[in-house]
Amino acid sequence: MPYINIKVTDEQVTTEQKRRLIAGATSLMVEVLNKNPETTHVVIEEIPVENWGVNGKQYLGTKK
């Protein structure tokens, strides 16, 4: 039954990356908590960079 919500800045996350995030987050629930993957939901939300703030300032692209 877990529900995982991932919020990231909207910087061209690819379909393949989303696929890996969903698979990885679900596996984590199965491996660590022995949850049923069929009832594990993952929701990815992409936030415009100007809507994300850190250290009191608008975020301006990924620092990797």
Judged by the rule CB under 8 A, the positions of this chain that interact with a second copy are 1-9, 13, 15, 17-29, 31-47, 50-59, 62-64
Name the residue among 25, 24, 21, 26 with its Cα closest to residue 36: 26
Least distance from a second copy to the Cβ atom of residue 10, Å: 11
- Which pairs with CB-CB distance under 8 Å and at least 24 residues apart come from 13-17? 13/44, 13/46
* Alpha carbon distance 20, 47 (integer Å): 19
Least distance from a second copy to the Cβ atom of residue 30, Å: 8
Which among 2, 6, 9, 21 is annotated as catalytic?
A: 2
Q: Clarify whether 2 is annotated catalytic.
A: yes
* Catalytic residue IDs: 2
